Amino acid sequence: MDIAVIGSNMVDLVSYIDQMPKEGETLEALSFSIGCGGKGANQAVAAAKLGAKVMMLTKVGEDLFADNTIRNLNEYGVDTEFVSKVPGTCSGVAPIFVDKQSQNRILIIPGANKHLLPVDIDAAAEKLKKCSLFVLQMEIPLPTIYYAIEFGNKHGIPVILNPAPASRELDLNYVQKCEFFVPNETELEIITGMPVETEQQIEAAAMSLIQKGIKNVIVTMGKRGALWLTEEQVHHVEAYKVNAIDTTGAGDAFIGCFAHVYVKNRDVLMSIKMASAFAALSVTGRGTQTSYPDVATYEQFLQ
């Protein structure tokens, strides 16, 4: 295995509506679609689409979404040996309402994702030890994230932590133990409590994390590109100029591709550049996992 993603899966239940129903009112919606998502699953799929050998450690519920989620991961080539069902619990779901102005309202029900625990890491230990990189986000319990970081450190496996969704409770003592910390601007603002309007402010906020002992901070900034800071240097990588249609899941595309390229060559700058290209392509199509390009499309874009 190249990469272990220890994280979440969700099922997006998207209703396209004219308007939100008022209290007590029943309205007919225009259409409906189901999509596989969750930050962990998205990142696993992004890396697997590029050819990485990816295993996922996640939990699904005991409902009709569970098998569909596992099948979807398998179809993209993600190893699901350690994806298990939690009896009596629902899978993670996200009912999303999108109106005609493309404004959305989203509810997240974490369901089984809340049940991914340190014991699950122990149960998968033999396989996890053989991985070259761990990829973590924050849609699972914090103690599990901390345990995974410790496990990675103990076995010499570098860890990428994507603090999404951001929480002020995140203990930076654990973040110091990660090789890469990859927030977007909003997450950086929440974690540091510093303003992130301008690039100078973003750089100052990221630098405050470096000063707290975090090794590599990579801030993704949408169409403004990405900023990579270490104690020695600051590097700005421009975003590719594309016609953006739907930017959902761009951050997950970036991280999945970054993980794949980094495992292959350990060159951080090259990995950020390659991830920027993959993420840029992803915003040119609708959806999340479905908008991630396959290897052929990606390689053509790079030429």
What residues are labeled active site? Answer: 252
Q: Which of residues 244-283 bind ligand ADP (CB under 6 A)?
A: 244, 247, 250-251, 254, 276, 279-280, 283
- Interface region with ligand ADP, contact rule CB under 6 A, candidates 42-50, 64-72, 218-226, 257-265: 218-226
As measured in angstroms, the least distance from the Cβ of 247 to ligand ADP is: 5
**Cα separations in angstroms, 158 against 53, 64, 215, 295:** 16, 35, 11, 25
Based on the shown chain and the rule CB under 6 A, indicate whether residue 144 belongs to the binding site for ligand ADP: no
Q: Which of 17, 56, 149, 226 binds ligand ADP (CB under 6 A)?
A: 226
As measured in angstroms, the least distance from the Cβ of 86 to ligand ADP is: 27
3-state SS track over 264-289:
HHCCHHHHHHHHHHHHHHHCCCCCCH
- Interface region with ligand ADP, contact rule CB under 6 A, candidates 4-12, 28-36, 129-137, 215-223: 215-223
Q: Which is nearer to ligand ADP, 86 or 257 (CB)?
A: 257
In b/e form, how buried is each residue of 84-115, taking b as 16+ CB within 10 angstroms?
bbbeebbbbbbebbbeeeeeeeeebbbbbbbb
What is the H or E stretch that residue 103 is in? none
Per-residue contact track with ligand ADP, 94 to 113, x per CB under 6 A? --------------------
Q: How far apart are CA 80 and CA 36, in angstroms?
A: 15
Q: How many residues does the chain have?
A: 303
The count of other CB atoms within 10 Å of the CB of residue 289 is: 24
As measured in angstroms, the least distance from the Cβ of 162 to ligand ADP is: 8
CA contacts within 13 A on the Cβ side of 61: 17
Q: Which of 95, 118, 141, 222 binds ligand ADP (CB under 6 A)?
A: 222
Whose CB is nearest to ligand ADP?
251
Q: How far apart are CA 151 and CA 233, in angstroms?
A: 29
Structural contact between residues 227 and 221, judged by C-beta atoms closer than 8 angstroms: yes
Per-residue contact track with ligand ADP, 170 to 189, x per CB under 6 A? --------------x-----
**Contact footprint for ligand ADP (CB under 6 A):** 184, 220-223, 225-226, 239-240, 242, 244, 247, 250-251, 254, 276, 279-280, 283
